[in-house]
Structure formats: structure tokens, C-alpha cells
A and B are shown apart, each in its own frame.
Chain A
Amino acid sequence: MNTDKHGWKRILLRHETILLFVLVVEWLLFYYFGTSMNRRGITVGFGTMDRQFDILRHSCEIGLLALALTPVILTGGIDLSIGSLLGLTAIVFGKLWHDAHLSIGMAAVCAVGVGALAGGLNATLITTLRIPALIVTLGTYSLFRGLAEAITHGSVTYTDFPASFLFLGQERWLGLPAQAWLFIVVAIATWLLVHRTTFGRSFRAIGFSPEGTRYAGISVERRLTMVYVLAGIVAALAAIIYTARLGQAKADAGTGYELFAITAVVLGGTSIFGGIGSVHGTLLGVAAIAVLKNGLACLPIVIRHNSAEELSGMMTGALLLLALCSSVLPKILSTWRSRRQSHLPQQTKIA
């Protein structure tokens, strides 16, 4: 009985549960305050299906990057270059299609190949030269963006993609925005990889102690290469749906996305030092940020003051800090309580 109660409490106080609660409350609040009827008697704002689909559509790219980052951060690493890599692979994709006259499919395959190579470059520098991931990917962050700008001379924008390709970014398929299916597939694959395979366990082990993992007979280098290459591949996939959504491939694609993605991962409860975290936490983090951003833009008071963008930045930051505090709070409380309990018997003795 006692252990059962304890287990429930643990689940309730778990970071993911708290975050799910925050997400639901957030959603209900926006639904309540952000939905209205317009002049023509049509329901508009947050409570429309279109809005919900827009939220899903807008979170696919950052969501993919956050999924790719989860295993990376679990191993105690970081990849700052994925936003830039999104830009580079978008340009590669656009150029191969537009200038080299490859088919959309071939261009996409090549773009994914470039993503994998770029991830491989990160991995090689991190594993063989033993340079910290933060430094390596800070370098490739500039390198990939610079390459994208160099390829386009900072001025070429690839557009006029065929409608069949734009379908992927702008239309619905089987009831959902088309790109959401890709997101769902990648999410399931990542979840299985992290939570249901020995690879996933080894990522966490590396995050706790790379040396210990090595002594346990696991090839740390190979596992690290795997997570960075996967991150590169997923960044390329994000680039393709980004291009399809906007109908353009431009060198500034995905600028700053790496920070949004890291925010989502950390908000989802993954420790930035590695070892602890989950894919479903990341998904909740992505959803919480996307709902916040889109919901704010529907609030009448925000609309009147035309301040959706500034507010969404502020509120995302506040949400992240609050979530981090709330996940630390139970630990502090329990240590405080156990300390008090350990004092209690002594007091009775004295009395």
C-alpha cells in the first residue's frame, strides 16, 4: 500500500507529468481566451481546427531538430550546428533541383546525404580529436551557414517548386498536415531507438560516464558517431519540409532554430549534462512551446498591442525557467523533509 502510494506520487511529480499538466492548462487557457466569433459569425482564433493544424505544421521543423538533439544531449553532447545545417541542406536541395535539374526525389536523397556527411564531420572531430562537442559544433555552426551563403552568394533564392512537392509542406494528407506524418514517423523511430534498444541505454550510459561505458565494452566512438550522423540526417529532413512549407530555399533558412530545439529538449526534462531524459519529454516540450507561441498570437489583448512576437520570446523563457524550477523543487522538498525526519528522533531523546 505504502509503496503503491509512493509510486503514484513519483509518477505525478515526474517532470513529464508536470509538463503535460502545464501543456493542458496552457491549451485550455488559450482555448478559453483566444477563441471568438468574427463579424461574419465564423469562429476564429485559437479554438479552430485550422489553428491546431497550423500549430502542428509550424512545430514540425523545430520538432524534428529537437528529436535529433535528444539522443545527442543524452550522451552529454550538444549540436549547435543543426540550424545552420538545415539552411545548408535546404540550399543543396534547391540547387540540385533548380540548377542540376535532378528530380525532387533525387535532390532530397542527396540533401539527406549531405546532412549525414555533415553530421559525420561533427562526429569525427568530436570522437577522434576529442574536441568538446560545444566547440566543434560552434565551429560547424558558422561553417555550414557560411557555406550556404557562399553557394547562393547570399542572394539567390530557389523557388518555383512543383505543386506536388509543395503539397508536402502546405496541404493535408489523411487529415493531417502532410509533413506531420514525417514528424510522427521520426518521433516513433527516435522513441524506439532511445527507449527500446540497447543503443538508447548506451546513450544514457555515455551521458553518465563515457569512461565507465568504455570499460563496459561499448564502443563509445561508434555510438557518438551514430547520434551525430542521425542528427545531420534529421536536419536535412527538416530542411526539405521547411522548403516545402515556404516554397523557397534561402540561405537564412532555420536561423536560430538550434536554440529553440535545445530549449524544447531541456524543457522536456533532458539533462543538459546527459544521462537523463526522454523522447516523449522532448515532444511535450516542443508542444508546450508551439502552443504558447501560437496561443499568445490569438489573445485579444496581445493582438491589440501587436506584441505577439516579443511576448512569445519572453514567455518561452519564463516557461523554461519555471519548468526547471518545478522539477528541482520536489527534490529540494524531499531532502528537506528527510533532514527534518532524521532530526526528529534525536529531539525525542532529549525530551
Chain B
Amino acid sequence: MKQIIASLVVAGFALAGISSHAADKLIVAMLPKAKGNAYFISCKGGADKAAKELGVELLFDGPTDSNAAKQNEIVENWITLGVDAIAVAAENKEGISTALRKAQKAGVKVLTYDADALPDARSFFVNQATPEGIGYTLMDEAARLCNNEGEFAIITATLTAANMREWQKNIEARLKDKYPKMKLVATRPCDDLKDKAQSEATALMSANPNLKCIMAICSPGVPGAAEAVKQAGKTGKVKVLGLGLPNENKRYVHSGVTDSVILWNTEDLGYLAVYAATKLAKGELKPGDKTVTAGKLGEFKIDGDNIMLGKPFIFNKDNIDKFDF
């Protein structure tokens, strides 16, 4: 009986084919918040490039919607698949941390990118931009578009997402400090869905007739809000800005609906995350290191346990065509 089982297992390995394939390759698993989101797809673009250069196998899987419980199940799956390193964009800080700690206990190297988990559940966080940098840039740009006065509203992904809350806090702090004549009238969630952002933006405009500006702080929210403004015939009257991807917004930027799109280079974020994860798994990156080198992008600064990607970038009519992601 034992022999039969053993031979079955051996045959299984041969048929499955992963053993010969993966045996010599390091496996890096990357978890997005939602895998259909264009933002994470462009991260994957950079991650794929890095994986190719490094010769590692890249797994990229995530929930089809932003779902914290499913993220945990995927991480647990990766633990039993025996991956070497996991890079996670956390949907919920505390929720994911239990699964990440389990991964660390099983000898898997863990880092986070885009949205952090609890510090003890990962070795490093690839910080795409500080919440302060993002919050301040968004608020400054909104104030510039509104000539420093008037009502504006925020469209966010979910009211619970940790990074969104951080950004909002900084937006509100900047608002209080520098722009006393501006007023935040509402903050609405769009669940990372473009059509929901559109209906929320439409509702915001009808509820607040004096609205001068809509600030969308999740990537599907910007084209969603722009579409709502365009269909309401309020182009130019209600300004749109937000955190988003250049490609999804090009149309609206060129037709004057959206004024500025603020972001970092997401491909670079994915690229850096895979480089850092691989180096972590190989033992070439250790806690306490001050810099890390990522292939063609060169050297990045490490602040404590945060690997810093750099400053946010403002895309507008003049420069948006130079970018394709």
C-alpha cells in the first residue's frame, strides 16, 4: 500500500512538472488588493520586468474584489505552496497581519508595498510616497485649482482602507493649516469601482450645488468622477483631480474635465518591490540596511524599515502623453 502511494506521489511530481521547473528558481509571490485594478496591473508590469531580470518565478494573485478575508486565504495558500518571499498590498492592516506572521513563522520573507501591514508582520514596507507628501500635494493642487476658496468633496476607495485614511488625515491637516476658505463638504466611498465613483460624484454634485472641486483618492475614482462631471455638463465648473493612472485619465485631461492626476510611478513600485523581496529572500537585504539597489533604477533610500520610492508626481495636459501605464 505504501509503495503504491509513494509511486503515485512520484508520478504526481513528474506530471505536475512544477518540481523540475521551480526547483532551481526562487518564487516571489505578489498580492494586490484587487487584481483587476489597473493600478495593480501596472505594478505587475514592473514586477514582471524585475522577475525576468532576476530570474525568479513571480506569482501574482489577489481577490477579484477588495476583500480582506480572501487576502488572508491567498497568503495561507502561498505558505503551503512554499514560496520564498511574499510582497503584499494590505487591504486591512490588522487582518492581513495574522496571516503574514504565520508566513514569517514558516520561514517566508515578507514585505509590504503600496499599503502597509503591522510592522511586526513584515520586514520592510516599500513606501511609494509618504502620506504627508501625498496628502499635501493633493490639497495644494486642489487649492490651486479653486483659487484657494470654495467647497470640495473627496471620493475614496473604502472608508476602512488604512492608506486612504492616512491620506485623508493629511489632506485635512493641510486644509486646516493653509486653506481656511476651503471647505470639505463630504467624503464618499466608491469601493474601488469606476461606476460607483461616477454615481457618487453625480450625487455629490446634486447635493452640493456650490461644489467647485472633486478630489478622488483612489485610481478608479478619478475617471469615474470625470465622467460624472462631463455628463452633468459641468466641465470646467467642477474641477476634477485625484490619485490615478495617466492612461485612464488621458481622455479627460485632454478634454479639460480633469486638471491634474497625481501619482508615483507604479511600474517602478512593482519593480522595486520584487527586487527588494528577492534580495530579502536571498539574504542580501537585512533589517538595518540604509540603501537597496534595484537593477536599472539604481539606489533607493531606506528610512527605518521603509524603502522610499520618492516624491509624488503631477501629471497634467503638458506631460501626461509622455507616460504609458
Binding site for B on A (CB under 8 A): 31-40, 42, 44-45, 47-48, 50-51, 54, 58, 153-155, 157, 159-160, 166, 170, 242, 245-248, 250, 252-253, 255, 294, 297-300, 303, 306, 308-310
Whether A250 pairs with B61 at a CB distance below 8 angstroms is no
Contacting A at CB under 8 A, from B80-99, are: 80-82, 84, 92, 94-95, 97-98
B183 within 8 A of A: no
Interchain Cβ contacts under 8 Å between A and B, 22 examples: A32-B11, A32-B12, A33-B15, A36-B13, A36-B22, A38-B27, A38-B82, A39-B27, A40-B82, A45-B82, A47-B9, A47-B12, A54-B77, A54-B80, A58-B76, A155-B160, A159-B95, A160-B94, A252-B67, A252-B68, A300-B17, A308-B74
Q: Mark B3-14, 1 if CB is under 8 A from A, else 0.
A: 000001101110
Q: What 4 A-B pairs are tightest by C-beta distance, nearest first?
A: A44-B82, A159-B94, A38-B82, A155-B159
A23 to chain B, nearest CB (A): 18
Whether B23 pairs with A248 at a CB distance below 8 angstroms is no
For the complex, would chain B's binding face be called helix, strand, loop or mixed by DSSP majority?
Answer: helix
| Interface residues on chain B, number (Cβ under 8 Å) | 47
Q: A36-B19, A36-B22, A42-B82 are in contact. Are A246 and B68 (CB under 8 A)?
A: yes
Identify 4 new A-B residue pairs, CB closer than 8 A, beyond the known A33-B16, A39-B24, A42-B82: A245-B72, A245-B98, A250-B68, A306-B59
Whether A39 pairs with B61 at a CB distance below 8 angstroms is no
State which of B73, B76, B77, B94 has its C-beta within 8 Å of the C-beta of A247. B94
Chain B contacts of A247 at CB under 8 A? 94-95, 97-98
Chain B contacts of A166 at CB under 8 A? 98
Whether A38 pairs with B23 at a CB distance below 8 angstroms is yes
B85 to chain A, nearest CB (A): 12
Cα(A44)–Cα(B73), bound, Å: 16
Whether A33 pairs with B12 at a CB distance below 8 angstroms is yes
Whether A246 pairs with B72 at a CB distance below 8 angstroms is yes
Q: A36-B18, A45-B81, A154-B160 are in contact. Are A308 and B8 (CB under 8 A)?
A: no
A178 to chain B, nearest CB (A): 14
Contacting A at CB under 8 A, from B5-55, are: 8-9, 11-13, 15-19, 21-27, 35
Binding site for A on B (CB under 8 A): 8-9, 11-13, 15-19, 21-27, 35, 59-61, 63-64, 67-70, 72-74, 76-77, 79-82, 84, 92, 94-95, 97-98, 102, 159-160, 165, 189
Chain A contacts of B60 at CB under 8 A? 306
Q: Can you name the residue of chain B whose Cβ is closest to the Cβ of A42?
A: B82
Whether B8 pairs with A32 at a CB distance below 8 angstroms is yes
Whether A157 pairs with B92 at a CB distance below 8 angstroms is yes
State which of B25, B80, B84 has its C-beta within 8 Å of the C-beta of A51. B80
Chain A contacts of B23 at CB under 8 A? 37-39
B166 to chain A, nearest CB (A): 13
State which of A37, A54, A160, A245 has its C-beta within 8 Å of the C-beta of B13. A37
Whether A35 pairs with B16 at a CB distance below 8 angstroms is yes
Q: A45-B81, A155-B160, A297-B77 are in contact. Are A303 and B16 (CB under 8 A)?
A: no
CB within 8 Å: A-B pair count? 125
Whether B68 pairs with A58 at a CB distance below 8 angstroms is no
State which of A31, A44, A155, A309 has its C-beta within 8 Å of the C-beta of B12. A31
Q: A32-B8, A37-B19 are in contact. Are A303 and B94 (CB under 8 A)?
A: no
B63 to chain A, nearest CB (A): 7
Cα(A308)–Cα(B26), bound, Å: 21
A145 to chain B, nearest CB (A): 14
Q: Can you name the residue of chain A whose Cβ is closest to the Cβ of B189?
A: A154
Chain B contacts of A45 at CB under 8 A? 18, 80-82
Cα(A300)–Cα(B94), bound, Å: 30
State which of B16, B61, B63, B97 has its C-beta within 8 Å of the C-beta of A34. B16
Chain B contacts of A40 at CB under 8 A? 82
The winner among A50, A160, A255, A303 for most chain B CB atoms within 10 A is: A303
Cα(A34)–Cα(B11), bound, Å: 12
Chain B contacts of A308 at CB under 8 A? 61, 74, 77
Q: A32-B12, A306-B60 are in contact. Are A39 and B94 (CB under 8 A)?
A: no
Q: Can you name the residue of chain B whose Cβ is closest to the Cβ of A149?
A: B159
Whether A157 pairs with B94 at a CB distance below 8 angstroms is yes
Q: Can you name the residue of chain B whose Cβ is closest to the Cβ of A50?
A: B80
B196 to chain A, nearest CB (A): 14
State which of A39, A48, A54, A153 has its C-beta within 8 Å of the C-beta of B22. A39
Q: A247-B98, A250-B95 are in contact. Are A298 and B77 (CB under 8 A)?
A: yes
Whether A246 pairs with B63 at a CB distance below 8 angstroms is no
Chain B contacts of A159 at CB under 8 A? 94-95
Whether A157 pairs with B61 at a CB distance below 8 angstroms is no
A281 to chain B, nearest CB (A): 25
Q: Can you name the residue of chain A whose Cβ is closest to the Cβ of B164?
A: A155
A328 to chain B, nearest CB (A): 32
Cα(A301)–Cα(B54), bound, Å: 22
Cα(A245)–Cα(B94), bound, Å: 12
Cα(A297)–Cα(B22), bound, Å: 16
Chain B contacts of A299 at CB under 8 A? 16
Q: Can you name the residue of chain B whose Cβ is closest to the Cβ of A297?
A: B77
The winner among A40, A44, A170, A250 for most chain B CB atoms within 10 A is: A44
Chain A contacts of B25 at CB under 8 A? 39
Whether A38 pairs with B22 at a CB distance below 8 angstroms is yes
